[in-house]
Homo-oligomer: A and B are copies of this chain.
Amino acid sequence: MRPQDKHAKRRRVRPAGSVRERTYRYLRERLLAGRYAPKERLTEVAVARTLGVSRTPVREALHKLELEGLVEPAGGRGFRVPADSPAEMRELFEIRGLLEGHALACLAGSIERSVIAELEGLIERADEACNSGNLDLVFECNTRFHDLLYSQLAAERPRLHGLIEDMRDYVVRYRKNTLITKEGARRSVEGHKKIVLALSLGDRRLCEQLMRSHVREAQQDALAIRQDQQLINERK
């Protein structure tokens, strides 16, 4: 038994981890979900009051979020939610394509046959879900596809994996509704199919190219959703 498990029972009473950790996750989740308006201010005291905790953990959470770029300092008046920037979105997707393309090229040489088989199974399920219009299930399958695909990467190249996960997180800001169109879901699954094929062929160059265009498609979807939202906002 590991030493820290000794008091596991007591610790499980509290939701999870420290107040700082919880505060951080709370703010992060809301930020990524777009629950705060752009340029809205977040002060330590306000957050602390809302959560009923002291300023100390809130402070540390906010500083961590600043390092991640999810909030920006507002010159002596706390932090501010950064405004959406199409230019930044394009840049983030560009970097993502670069990193994930490279990651896949790496995986092409080392991935296990059994993993490929599992990936194929996941695609099959996603395909069926797509046909029946169950977009939530497609989303879940895609997530598991992603996790499985990158689990090996995490072991082989932890830094690259970490960077990719960071990029994915940042990008979430620009995809506020996880609601995907049916065509988008179809395209995504088709992209995964091609990728697994390239992977099974062990073609590094092809893997890289396919992953890049897969990311580019995701970017276009995000862009379309974004434009739709703007139209909606203008109507209001």
Contact = CB atoms under 8 A, between A and B. Distances in A.
Interface of A: 4, 56, 59-60, 63-64, 67, 69, 75-76, 88, 91-92, 94-95, 98-99, 102, 157-160, 163
B160 A95 contact: yes
A56 B94 CA distance: 38
A92 B160 CA distance: 8
Nearest to A160: B95
Contact of A102 (B56, B98, B159): B98
Which secondary structure characterizes the binding site on chain A? helix
Contact of A163 (B60, B88, B95): B95
Given A98-B99, A98-B102, A102-B98, A159 B92 contact: yes
Contact of A95 (B69, B88, B92, B159): B159
A33 to B, nearest CB: 21
A209 to B, nearest CB: 14
Nearest to A67: B67
A217 to B, nearest CB: 20
A159 B64 contact: no
Nearest to A159: B91
Given A98-B98, A98-B102, A91 B60 contact: no
Given A60-B60, A67-B67, A91-B157, 6 more contacts: A56-B56, A88-B158, A95-B99, A95-B159, A95-B163, A98-B102
